[in-house]
Structure 1
Amino acid sequence: MKRIIILFLFCVSTSLLAQQNDWENEKITQINKEAPHATLYYDASSNNVTLLNGKWDFAFYNDITKVPKNLKPNKWEKIDVPSAWQMQGYGSPIYTNITYPFEKNPPFINSKVGNSVGLYQHQFSVEKDALDQEVFLRFESVSSAFYLWVNGEKVGYSQDSWSPAEFNITKYLKEGNNSLKMQVIRWSDGSYLEDQDGWRMSGIFRDVFLIKRSKLHINDYFIQTTDVSNNSAKIQLEIDLKNTNEKVSDYQLKYSLTNNKGKIVVKGNEAINSLSTTFKTTLKKPELWSNETPNLYQLDISLLKAGKVVDQIQGKVGIREILISDKNEILLNGQPITIKGVNVVEHDPIFGKYIPKERIEKTVMTLKKYNFNTVRTSHYPASPYFYQLCDQYGLLVIDEANVESHGFGYKENETLANNPKWEKQHVERIEAMVERDKNHPSVIMWSFGNEAGNGVNMTAMQRKTKEIDTSRPTHYHFATLPSSFDTYGGGFPLHHKKQNRYIDIPDLEKIAQDGVDKPYILNEYAHGMGNAMGNLQEYQDIFEKYPAMIGGCIWDFVDQGITKSIDGQYGNQIQDVDKAHQQAQLPGEDYYWAFGGDFKHDFSNDNNFCMNGVFMSDLTPTPKSSQVKQVFQNINFTIQGVNKVVIRNEFLFTNLSEFDFSWRLLKNGKESTSGDLQVKLSPLEQGTFTLKNAPTDLDQNAEYILQFSVKQREETAWAKSGYEIAYAEKVIQPYTFNPLDKAISAAKVNSEGREIEISSSSSNIKIDKGTGEIVAYTKNGKNFFNGNMSLDFWRAPIDNDKKLMEMWQKAGFDKMMSKVQNITIENGQVKIEKIHQAQMSKFIYYTTETFGLSEEGELLIDLKLSPETVRTKAATTLPRVGYTIKVTKDIAHSTWYGKGPGSSYIDRKVGMQTGIYTASMEEQFINYAKPQENGNKSLVRWVKFHNDQQKGLAVRSSDYINFSIRKYTVEDLENAWNTWQLEEHRDFNIVNIDFIQGALGNGSCGAIPLKKYFAPVTEYHFNLEIGSIDQEIELGK
């Protein structure tokens, strides 16, 4: 009986195993797929490679169970290849961060929206001579799994969305027309390792090639350079052949290296004795590769038979060496690099996960222009073309494997990283990446993936990586044991108590002071969601102070928004892309940047958590971009007075003599003197320079600011001559804030009725008795107000405010109501005492506002604030203190003296330069995908709000102020979900004049602002003078 039960159970389990799908079986990752190898490039004139991109036949099914067994749909439609089918009108894109878009039950897939399938069919021609060769189909990226048929015969199966899949199809071919068919499955068991924060899309994302090779052909190569110096470098070239039916001894291998002047500097040849050949040589006086000097050699490898070339490949070679120093620095050609990096997610607002070459090119050039030196390919290997450009233009790459299983958490008994059943998939993914990208000099590090936990499978990935390549360090962000990788990417390596991703500055400094046993990289920091990027400079200060803290990668490069119209068009439905993007950059238009929750069936989403870019979705710069550019610049200035400066060259391989230096001295915001500076400093050298013709006799009543600019002298591949790469400024003599005019006692005050009027010969103020707020200010017969002027403590929340929101809302800042306690009229002035408190809140601020008129008719305001001391614990910092003024609709421009031309805040202002600027209201509005506080100008000495005829209001204080001007109220911004929901008001615009505007910090995914940037809840005393513009404005730049 026992034997019968055992036999029965065995039969049942065998039967179940037989029924298990390939795409729901973690043990099956490929069938008949070629082993991974380096990307092979052929001469442009070669007819051995055919690109199969274009219009293919396509049929879509919402669920895999609905696919006909004979794979013959009722109707074929056309689809672009490459593409994501969700952007071509089939199904909906889903944005989710951690939560899987299907039931978490590995290896099985069960989703509420079904597991959709795309059937592809394409015809291609094969000439007769190809039948005597080996022919391969290569797919650079297909998500997430697929079966392949050629001429009706099943060829194989593959999964891993971001690594190549190559199949030998020789035996399935016939002369003339041939047909391939693919069944692409949206989700497979491999999707459990593809839980990256981003849009979940499907399809053929990258190029498809038909490749012909000889029976004996070059299958792989690996070139390594060691003992690298300016004098010499050792070169080792390993070449692997693949043979189907040839006598190896009849063949010969040749190789050569050619410099950029066309001169062959190294060559060699050897008769073949085996399928693996290694050449070793030494190159004298090599031109080294670095991100600053991306010198490349042309590598040619030829396979010959009887002197005739039968196979030939090409590649670009950079001679460089990566080492770890005894100080735990990363050395590039002997120099310690600081990672000034960013995470780059492959995303396009029109094409989704298919990235056109033009977009890749613009991405790389933008990275160079804004002083980034490193890219982390988050969180999977990028397009092969991206690495070619990084080699060519000079960017360092932390190459990341397609491994993320964040949805399982990180507990030892739950994470897939510690589940032996999933070792094969972990290892195959790192292997595919290393083999593909091992010849790119730009790749300096191999990353095991992202947020995938830790355990035995990470150790196995380390072991496999080192089997292939020992020339580069490995990387992962977990600092808990087993610590099998060579560099840290986050966490607390010596304490093992915390595993934070977004480490704040105090903790980072503690890690640095305690010391680390490996190079330490913050591979994600400075979360750029919305109006963000506070205290970036403080992070950089730590990286430069401690050798082993080698830098970090900002999260992330570009907003992952999808261009969408309010009537639902997106992807290939958009006919005029340029127009759509122009409108998406503006509020209240027909097009906007869509995010999680904006699509049908987007049931599991994380809202706008995908909008974290330094740049907008279409690569438009933001004020964050300017901040990064300045903080990451490679030239440091220490200005020591009006005519002396210390300059430090922080380039590792570039002399500053290659650039043009200039300086100018501003007097009250206008250039008074300028000059050029001849700077010749070797890498990491520092020098002191004296400015010729700089004045030493300064006007004691004027502000002087010394500014420096560094520009490209010669045009480069990524920037034109004259492009500014660095700048600096320092206030030499501070601004003199002239005392505000005194209120005249002769002003007439009329308190009859519901309003109090203060009048002089030229001006009139009206104050509502009930609210205590000014409702009109008239000067020379013109009232520029069209509503009240209210004292406000609230700003439209930015994404980074979320960690302070509970405190602020508990204190009632968002619903603060004012109540007039007392009104006193004395000496031509009106003093109004108020209490500010939200319902159900214990927090109270008392204010005393004194309003009056000057002899010239300016509105004078004296403001005192005092919290009720017993209740100040309800809040530790203020979001804002300032006046909101509803001005007439024609007031739509501002001219100011302060930081500009873009927006700035107390902890994000070094990216803007001080000067006198003029800009329209529209130019100053930053259209973040989720509406929020934006457009603030800081360190403002004075500002004028005016119409096209330069008539309006002039505002100043006895200290620096902040301001913004826009069409929308705080409530408008706070209540809108998308930018298209913003509607301007018919009768007024909004001017904000702020004494306090809160810091930005990194709180959307990281730390709240540093305490030094807090505006504490305490007593304050401010003043303001508002007058009309009585003469023509000298507009700023």
Structure 2
Amino acid sequence: MKTNIKGNVLSALGFALGFQLLAFSSAIAQNTEIQYLSGTGSDKTVNWQFFCTAGRNSGKWTTIPVPSNWEQQGFGKYNYGHDKDSVRGKEKGLYKYNFNVPANWKGKTINIVFEGSMTDTEVKINGQSAGATHQGSFYSFSYNITKLLKYGKKNLLEVTVSKHSANESVNGAERRGDYWIFGGIFRPVFLQALPAEHIAHVAVDGKATGAFTARVKLAAVAQADEVTAQVYTITGNTKVGNAFAAKVNAGDSVATLQTTVASPALWTPETPNRYRVEFTLLAKGKPVHTVQEKFGFRTVEVRERDGIYLNGVKIKFKGVNRHSFWPTTGRTMNESMSIADVQMIKDMNMNAVRMSHYPPDAHFLNATDSLGLMVLDELSGWHKAYDTQVGSILAKEMIAHDCNHPSIVLWDNGNEGGHNFELDHWFDELDLQKRPLIHPWQVFREFDTQHYINWDYGNDTHLHGHKIVFPTEFLHGLYDGGLGAGLEDYWELMWRHPRSAGGFLWVFADEGIARKDKNDSIDNDGNHAPDGIVGPFHEKEGSYYAIKEIWAPVHFEKKDLTPAFNGQFSVENRYHFTNLDQCKFTFKLSSLQKGGDVTGTVNVPDIAPGKTGIITCNLPANWQQYSVLYVTALDAQQHEIFTWSWPIKLPTAIAHMLVKQEGGAAVSVSEKDSLIVATAGDVTLSFHKNNGLLQTVQNGKGIIPLSNGPVLCEGETGFVKWNTRKDGNNVVVAGEFQKKSLVQLLEWTIFPSGWVKMQIKYYPKDYETSLIGVNFSFPESIVKSAQWMGTGPYRVWKNRMKGGTLNVWNKEYNNTSTGEGKLIYPEFKGYYPNLYWVKLNTTGQPLTVVCANEDVFLRLFTPKFSVTPFNTAPVFPDGDLSFMHGISPIGTKSQKADKMGPMGQKHMYFDYWKDPMHTKDITLFFNFSGKE
């Protein structure tokens, strides 16, 4: 396959490392020809001949798509980085491919380029070695094969790829990381034909001031005498400023060009403005070679004991770590996948992404450039570092390949102890833009990047120290823990603290591989890989929406909508560069009980970044007739920031609309053995005399299996006996309790309609307590679905309350264990806040419960947790259904919930000496009538 590329796809980057080693960035030359030998990504591959030396389908020549990881094509052995050396697959892959080279390429410089190969890679052309074995998996490398080719004829490419390296430092840095390890040529391979005299590499630096510098590396200059350049707009051919040039002499290897652009549009994650620049090598005025680069004008600056500044503005990084990974293709990606990942990250209102733990595909960086995410680009090293010899080669390759992307704002040298200090100088010397360098996990230079710090670290370090605090990993996700859970506490502290630069959550997606040897079932290697905000196929977990709200650049002051509400909200602009008047706000009023929603506009004044102002919803005069107010904010590109909701009608008003008390004959009550029996038409309830619990519910259609309640989540009720009384046509069954018991009032009121009211007033067990509420038994096995009015649709934890909206939700039953097995999100079981009413649809009769109190949580059964949950299996109440004032928080893989901030701590309740005015109150209405 031969392609003459006219757009902005690839460019040659030259380095002399014993042999001429060329890396690549995103520019191309108009007279450079690119011929792909492989496909361009996982969605477009080319079959090569292949032989695997061990494991599945080994010992025979067959074919394999390139690029790919061979495990996902049915070859070799699967291994996670933590596997013992004795069980690791050490197979090699032998590749062959025949290709033609045009006759008119003779006299040009021809390079073969590998964008990524795992890991030791030996290359032969027509039986002759192309150069030294390349070691290191994630780096673009190339060989000058000009003298090895047969022009106008067929050529043979032979490649031997060793899954594990002969260099132990490479294995330590890459192959023993906390992630899946693969083998194969997993990124594209292509030929590049350049003029004999050519531009080998260009590094550019566009400052926020408009100052522009380019370092142009030249090869084989003999007749050429000048390099010229012109800056253009990103689209079209509109010139920006004047042309500029530098003279060159025969034998020169570098030319430096400089100019200044007046008032350039700057690159930021909120406004990713870019330009392109065209360089031409001339000989006596005639073009010899032309290349182009895309770039952005922006300045990154670190101010000691202060923070990170972009274009003079202090930045708070809202970031996530991201692997290059897809369940069916391993680390072989494509452009559409990269764009989708960047869009999802930005949709969560993040502004940054860290490459963990290796450089990404070029198309991912193209996406972060064009869509706007700040990037930390990382040299591999997980607990172990490359040795200086191979590490120097790889650091040079990474810097050359990635240096012109404006989205890259910092470099990482290794991770969590995988730092070779002898490599630091390469970043300082080779990066024309002089980006800051960090050692993730270390206190290094101006930064404290410690991982998985507690909310308040203390002791003259972290936020109590003097370094810029920049955790490159925090709130380690596992199953449904971490990530959104705890983030609000961390973020409010980070946002307000002057030395915090924000941080990066671990991690974007579960790294579960679809095992070809196990019918494509997802393997997370136990609890090692299910760490993501989204599932392996990017299924959105509850934390996705919690993060989206917590990190929204529009921050609403807490507010209740009383009759005095005038449509105004106080909002803080948490953008760094965008005025809120560039965003669009709308509102919607909804009744939720019937149709007739009303939408309208919101007035947004000039609210500069970091400032607070008032926005005004232009509400109709009858706004109080509706149940809920929604406000949606769209950013300057018309993407949703978030939709917030506020209740207008409180639960007591909705309960009054729904509950039917009248109808039928007067209720009767009697005693039978150990039971109190109340009857309303064909509805019968029984209560146990000794323990004070509901025993049975039955109507003309049969049994409704709600029983054994209410039981306090913590503590004993102190029940003594039942007292019954008539209340008009109603019957009240009232509990009597011991003096100073936790329950102060328990009354069941049975209405002639078949509806039943339960009211309980109680105290929590202790000053500090884990769970507050009451439980009932109800058989999970008969439940088919739930419909409810409340905040949803995802469940919450005490320390992950954000991300939902008030609405009427429908959810089919599922038994999802977050991050394991078949993932159906949202999960069915768990806690749901702000309950108004719920209807459980069952294989028998439905159960409808209406709540008349604010701030009551519905607990639906107990979620299924992993057998090795670490801190991510919170305590749940007994029973099956609960109505609660206090629920449990969830921890992370490495932290208990109480170390993650105030929201993760136990509930605190002062009982005021058992003052009846301070009891907790829950009023529920049950529809036992058998009628909808």
Question: One-letter code of the match for 1:334?
Answer: G
Mapped to 2, the partners of 1:405 and 1:938 lie a distance apart of 42
Asked whether the equivalents of residues 899 and 909 of structure 1 are also in contact (C-alpha less than 8 Å), the reply is no
Q: Residue 437 of structure 2 corresponds to which residue in structure 1? A: 474
Deviation at 1:963, TM superposition (A): 2.5
Mapped to 1, the partners of 2:606 and 2:195 lie a distance apart of 54
**Cα distance 1:731–1:632, how it changes in 2: closer, same or farther (>3 A)?**
same
Deviation at 1:508, TM superposition (A): 7.1
Asked whether the equivalents of residues 114 and 140 of structure 2 are also in contact (C-alpha less than 8 Å), the reply is yes
Matched residue SS, 1:211: strand
Q: Does 1:514 align with 2:476?
A: no
Match of 1:893 among 780, 783, 786: 786
Question: One-letter code of the match for 1:630?
Answer: E
More helix by proportion, 1 or 2? 1
Deviation at 1:621, TM superposition (A): 2.2
Mapped to 1, the partners of 2:493 and 2:319 lie a distance apart of 15
Residue pairs, 1:560-571, within 5 angstroms: 560-563=511-514, 568-570=518-520
Match of 2:476 among 509, 527, 537: 527
Question: One-letter code of the match for 1:159?
Answer: Q
Tell me how many residue pairs correspond in the alignment: 855
Matched residue SS, 1:220: strand
Match of 2:571 among 639, 647, 664: 647
Residue pairs, 1:505-904, within 5 angstroms: 505-507=455-457, 511=461, 514-517=464-467, 519-532=468-481, 533-563=484-514, 568-570=518-520, 593-596=522-525, 607-638=526-557, 642-643=565-566, 644-664=568-588, 675-681=600-606, 683-684=608-609, 686=611, 688-689=613-614, 691=616, 694=619, 707-712=630-635, 716=637, 721=638, 723-729=639-645, 736=652, 747-752=668-673, 757-766=677-686, 774=694, 776-785=696-705, 789=708, 824-827=721-724, 852-856=748-752, 857-861=754-758, 877-878=770-771, 882-886=775-779, 889=782, 892-896=785-789, 898-904=790-796
Matched residue SS, 1:254: strand
Deviation at 1:362, TM superposition (A): 0.8
Q: Residue 297 of structure 2 corresponds to which residue in structure 1? A: 319
Deviation at 1:179, TM superposition (A): 1.1
Question: One-letter code of the match for 2:511?
Answer: Q
Mapped to 1, the partners of 2:63 and 2:687 lie a distance apart of 68
Q: Residue 388 of structure 2 corresponds to which residue in structure 1? A: 423
Asked whether the equivalents of residues 198 and 281 of structure 2 are also in contact (C-alpha less than 8 Å), the reply is yes
**Cα distance 1:508–1:235, how it changes in 2: closer, same or farther (>3 A)?**
farther
Asked whether the equivalents of residues 903 and 924 of structure 1 are also in contact (C-alpha less than 8 Å), the reply is no
Matched residue SS, 2:87: coil
Q: Residue 404 of structure 2 corresponds to which residue in structure 1? A: 439
Matched residue SS, 2:237: coil
Match of 1:488 among 448, 452, 458: 448
Mapped to 1, the partners of 2:623 and 2:107 lie a distance apart of 85
Asked whether the equivalents of residues 747 and 853 of structure 1 are also in contact (C-alpha less than 8 Å), the reply is no
Mapped to 2, the partners of 1:636 and 1:975 lie a distance apart of 35
**Cα distance 1:206–1:834, how it changes in 2: closer, same or farther (>3 A)?**
farther
Q: Does 1:79 align with 2:64?
A: yes
Asked whether the equivalents of residues 604 and 616 of structure 2 are also in contact (C-alpha less than 8 Å), the reply is no
Q: Residue 7 of structure 2 corresponds to which residue in structure 1? A: none
Once the two structures are superposed, what CA deviation does each residue of 1:10-65 show, in whole Å capped at 9, x if it has no partner? xxxxxxxxxxxxxxxxxxxx9965446552532588534434231111111228xx
Question: One-letter code of the match for 2:553?
Answer: N
| Worse-superposed segment, 194-203 or 759-768 | 759-768
Question: One-letter code of the match for 2:927?
Answer: S
Q: Residue 987 of structure 1 corresponds to which residue in structure 2? A: none
CA RMSD of aligned residues (A): 4.2
Match of 2:351 among 368, 373, 384: 373
Asked whether the equivalents of residues 41 and 314 of structure 1 are also in contact (C-alpha less than 8 Å), the reply is yes
**Cα distance 1:913–1:511, how it changes in 2: closer, same or farther (>3 A)?**
farther
Asked whether the equivalents of residues 249 and 272 of structure 1 are also in contact (C-alpha less than 8 Å), the reply is no
Mapped to 2, the partners of 1:886 and 1:673 lie a distance apart of 40
Q: Residue 290 of structure 1 corresponds to which residue in structure 2? A: 268
Asked whether the equivalents of residues 712 and 774 of structure 2 are also in contact (C-alpha less than 8 Å), the reply is yes
Deviation at 1:996, TM superposition (A): 5.4
**Cα distance 1:854–1:682, how it changes in 2: closer, same or farther (>3 A)?**
closer
Question: One-letter code of the match for 2:68?
Answer: S
**Cα distance 1:311–1:657, how it changes in 2: closer, same or farther (>3 A)?**
same
Asked whether the equivalents of residues 470 and 501 of structure 2 are also in contact (C-alpha less than 8 Å), the reply is yes
Mapped to 2, the partners of 1:944 and 1:327 lie a distance apart of 56
Mapped to 2, the partners of 1:161 and 1:427 lie a distance apart of 14
Structure 2's unaligned 5+ residue stretches are 1-15, 40-45, 726-731, 870-878, 912-918
TM-score, normalization by structure 1: 0.74
Q: Does 1:158 align with 2:143?
A: no
Matched residue SS, 1:353: coil
Question: One-letter code of the match for 1:877?
Answer: S
Question: One-letter code of the match for 1:691?
Answer: T
**Cα distance 1:725–1:945, how it changes in 2: closer, same or farther (>3 A)?**
same
Structure 1's unaligned 5+ residue stretches are 1-29, 68-72, 104-110, 407-415, 491-500, 571-591, 597-606, 795-812, 836-844, 979-989
Q: Residue 207 of structure 1 corresponds to which residue in structure 2? A: 188
Asked whether the equivalents of residues 824 and 830 of structure 1 are also in contact (C-alpha less than 8 Å), the reply is no
**Cα distance 1:295–1:509, how it changes in 2: closer, same or farther (>3 A)?**
farther
Deviation at 1:278, TM superposition (A): 0.5
Question: One-letter code of the match for 1:973?
Answer: K
Q: Residue 228 of structure 2 corresponds to which residue in structure 1? A: 254
Deviation at 1:86, TM superposition (A): 1.1
Q: Residue 218 of structure 2 corresponds to which residue in structure 1? A: 241
Asked whether the equivalents of residues 667 and 679 of structure 2 are also in contact (C-alpha less than 8 Å), the reply is no
**Cα distance 1:750–1:310, how it changes in 2: closer, same or farther (>3 A)?**
farther
Q: Residue 729 of structure 2 corresponds to which residue in structure 1? A: none
Mapped to 2, the partners of 1:276 and 1:113 lie a distance apart of 46
Mapped to 2, the partners of 1:192 and 1:793 lie a distance apart of 53
Once the two structures are superposed, what CA deviation does each residue of 1:879-931 show, in whole Å capped at 9, x if it has no partner? 986334126847523121x21233233322221122x3131324896853268
Q: Residue 1005 of structure 1 corresponds to which residue in structure 2? A: 894
Mapped to 1, the partners of 2:577 and 2:765 lie a distance apart of 59
Matched residue SS, 1:661: strand
Matched residue SS, 1:343: strand
Matched residue SS, 1:446: strand
Question: One-letter code of the match for 1:295?
Answer: N
**Cα distance 1:695–1:50, how it changes in 2: closer, same or farther (>3 A)?**
closer
Match of 2:163 among 186, 190, 197: 186
Question: One-letter code of the match for 2:501?
Answer: I
Deviation at 1:694, TM superposition (A): 4.1
Question: One-letter code of the match for 1:488?
Answer: D
Residue pairs, 1:99-138, within 5 angstroms: 99=82, 101-103=83-85, 111-138=86-113
Asked whether the equivalents of residues 520 and 551 of structure 1 are also in contact (C-alpha less than 8 Å), the reply is yes
Question: One-letter code of the match for 1:321?
Answer: T
Q: Residue 918 of structure 1 corresponds to which residue in structure 2? A: 809
Mapped to 2, the partners of 1:833 and 1:171 lie a distance apart of 99
**Cα distance 1:792–1:391, how it changes in 2: closer, same or farther (>3 A)?**
farther
Deviation at 1:523, TM superposition (A): 1.1
TM-score, normalization by structure 2: 0.81
Matched residue SS, 2:202: strand
Question: One-letter code of the match for 2:66?
Answer: V
